[in-house]
């Protein structure tokens, strides 16, 4: 692998890890579209970010496990396990061009949804999903998107938003979710033959960047207004989504 590509991968992983450690989410939605623009296989990008996500979640959970609310996560995690094989099937049978378009569409939808939520009045009543089946639906979507594209956090983040989870509860509970669901996802990826020597070499190169991002993210979380930083990240996510949709459209037209 060329040195420039390797350094670009490490830099992308750093940006994703910085987003997760600062905001509590966003490593995959920041890193995956950027990795998709580099000359490396999609399966390698997916497996690498799967390992990165679980590693960051483990560090965060070990330092803040007392604040995790496991109650609402139980039905979601059960459904995540059922969704993982569906995502692996999609990854094997859907063309990379279509995957790129799907990634872009999901990014745009998630980014616009979150930006719209942040612009609403703080006193406005948010909708709630009262049916007991909603957690299972969001869990299956999370498992499918997670094993295929490492986007296992997006459906649960949307669900938590709709359920009006308080910020502290949201941040801590999401990390517990990422650790368990991420373990499901990387296990499925390993059993699907996505782990190899090249992956572990890349992971080793990324470890210092991950450690630096976790430390810097903790500092930023305490000093920067999170709402403003989050809006900047979400705007960047929408821009990346548009870029991927355009790239996919151009590839289809060739």
pLDDT tier for residue 175 given thresholds of 50, 70 and 90 = confident
Give domain limits for the chain.
Answer: 3-253
User: Mean per-residue pLDDT for 146-169?
Assistant: 77
What digits encode the pLDDT tens for the residues 79-96? 988 898 888 888 778 777
- Which of residues 215 and 236 earns the better pLDDT score? 215
User: Mean per-residue pLDDT for 21-42?
Assistant: 84
8 Å CB contact between 237 and 25: no
Q: For residue 2, is pLDDT > 80?
A: yes
Q: For residue 167, is pLDDT > 70?
A: no
Could you tell me the CA-to-CA distances from 106 to 5, 60, 114 in Å, in that order?
A: 26, 26, 12
Residue showing tokens 């969001």:
138
Query: C-alpha angle 207/33/178, rounded to 5°?
Result: 55
8 Å CB contact between 167 and 104: no
- Which of residues 206 and 244 earns the better pLDDT score? 206
pLDDT of 254 reads 56
pLDDT of 95 reads 77
- What does the alpha-carbon distance between residue 220 and residue 242 come to, in Å, rounded to a whole number? 28
pLDDT tier for residue 44 given thresholds of 50, 70 and 90 = very high
pLDDT of 119 reads 66
pTM of the model: 0.76
């Amino acid at each position: 692998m060329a040195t420039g590509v390797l350094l670009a991968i490490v830099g992308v992983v750093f940006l994703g890890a910085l987003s997760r450690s600062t905001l509590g989410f966003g490593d995959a939605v920041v890193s995956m579209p950027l990795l998709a623009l580099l000359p490396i296989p999609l399966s390698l990008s997916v497996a690498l970010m799967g390992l990165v996500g679980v590693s960051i979640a483990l560090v965060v959970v070990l330092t803040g496990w007392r604040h995790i609310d496991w109650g609402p996560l139980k039905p979601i995690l059960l459904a995540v396990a059922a969704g993982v094989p569906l995502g692996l099937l999609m990854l094997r049978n859907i063309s990379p061009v279509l995957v790129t378009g799907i990634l872009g569409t999901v990014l745009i939808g998630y980014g616009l949804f979150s930006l719209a939520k942040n612009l609403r009045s703080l006193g406005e009543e948010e909708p709630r999903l009262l049916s007991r089946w909603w957690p299972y639906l969001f869990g299956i979507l999370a498992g499918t998107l997670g094993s295929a594209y490492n986007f296992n956090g997006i459906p649960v983040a949307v669900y938590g938003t709709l359920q009006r989870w308080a910020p502290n509860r949201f941040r801590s509970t999401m990390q517990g979710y990422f650790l368990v669901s991420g373990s499901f996802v990387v296990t499925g990826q390993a059993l699907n033959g996505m782990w190899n020597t090249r992956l572990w070499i890349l992971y080793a190169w990324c470890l210092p960047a991950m450690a630096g991002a976790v430390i810097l993210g903790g500092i930023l979380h305490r000093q920067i207004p999170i709402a403003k930083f989050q809006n900047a990240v979400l705007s960047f996510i929408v821009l990346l989504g548009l870029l991927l949709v355009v790239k996919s459209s151009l590839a289809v037209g060739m």
